Amino acid sequence: MSRIICIANQKGGVGKTTTAVNLAAALAATERPTLLVDIDPQGNATSGVGLDKDGLSQTIYDALINGVDPRGVVMDTGQPFLHIIPSNADLAGAELELASLEGREQKLRFLLAELRDQYRYIIIDCPPSLNLLTINAMTAAESVLIPLQCEYYAMEGLSQILHTIRLMQRGLNPFLKIEGILLTMFDGRGNLGKEVAEEIRSNFPGQVFETVIPRNIRLAEAPSHGKPIIYYDINSRGAVAYLKLAREIIQREAANG
Ligand code: ADP
Ligand code: MG
């Protein structure tokens, strides 16, 4: 059975898409069939794996709103064991359209139910808001991975997403878990990054991934080449970190049975 993990944080620029693309690619590199699902109208995960987001004939929008068979919107990424359901600006209007549909929070869950048996992992990249698209992701997912940029105000937005997760647990998805908080863009040169990381770990014991994603220019460059980091520069610190994150997730799963 597949595991569905959504990558969410209502703040933009914290490393959601970078994590979704590179975690998915790292999991796929272990030969575990993986599906990356882009539900952000910005379509950055879509272009991040090399697809031309403006030249797509069908996207997640068609499956969510127009009832197109989800199997028809799955695309190859050119990388082994990694497929994607792409997104683009078409999805920008979907929030409003979804709002008037019956079962509006469950659309993605039902859509992925038809694909689950084909994948070991399904990784969902959320938009930078706690809107109906993100609620769809949290309804479909087993767990939420929260990327947190190692900066002074990092903790501020955290209470908001944790509150949303609690609401989900009380209603739409009683079994939703927190996969973990992932410290991203870590800069080990000064004290700030280390202090922030320490504070978050002491506030959320056992909930922060051991793996820390360093600030690494190669991670920022890779999307413009349409490649996950492991296919752009396997020796970069960014690639090593995301491979380690994938291992950590796989190992923890094995430990939990
Ligand atoms: P989000 O999806 O949360 O908005 P992104 O993953 O798009 O965030 O990251 C925001 C920007 O920061 C992008 O330009 C991305 O390439 C860059 N970035 C993300 N993670 C790192 C990192 N660890 N090191 C350097 N740049 C990064
Ligand atoms: Mg993004």
Instruction: Report, in angstroms and rounded to the nearest whole number, the Rg of the chain calculated over CA atoms.
Output: 17
3-state secondary structure at position 75: strand
Dump pLDDT digits (tens) for 171-192.
999 999 999 999 999 998 888 8
Q: Is the CB of 17 under 6 A from ligand 1?
A: yes
H-type alpha helices, 29-122? 44-48, 60-65, 94-99, 107-113
pLDDT along the chain (257 residues), means of 10: 95 97 98 98 98 96 95 96 97 90 95 97 97 97 96 85 96 97 93 90 95 98 98 98 98 85
Determine the Cα–Cα distance for residues 177 and 166; give it in Å rounded to an integer: 10
Ligand (nearest to CA of 8): 1
Q: How many CB atoms lie within 10 A of CB 137?
A: 25
CB 157 within 8 A of CB 9: yes
pLDDT at 257: 67
Name which residue sits closest to atom 26 of ligand 1, judged by CA.
220
Q: Whose CA is nearest to atom 13 of ligand 1?
A: 220
Instruction: Please give the DSSP secondary-structure letter assigned to residue 15.
Output: S
Q: Which CATH number fits domain 3-255: 3.40.190.10, 3.40.50.300, 1.10.357.10, 3.30.379.10?
A: 3.40.50.300
- Delimit the domains of the chain by residue range: 3-255
Amino acid at 123: I
DSSP letter string, 143-174:
EEEEEEE-STTTTTTHHHHHHHHHHHHHTT-T
Cβ neighbours, 10 Å, residue 50: 16
Is the minimum distance from the CB of 212 to ligand 1 under 6 angstroms?
no
Q: Looking at ligand 1, which residue's alpha carbon is closest to its atom 4?
A: 13
Q: What pLDDT sits at residue 108?
A: 97
The H or E element that residue 246 is part of is: helix 237-255
Q: 103 in ligand 1 pocket by Cβ < 6 Å?
A: no
Q: Check residue 256 and give its pLDDT.
A: 82
Model's pTM, two decimal places? 0.98
Query: What type of residue sits at position 8?
Result: A
Q: Which ligand is the nearest neighbour of the Cα of 39?
A: 2
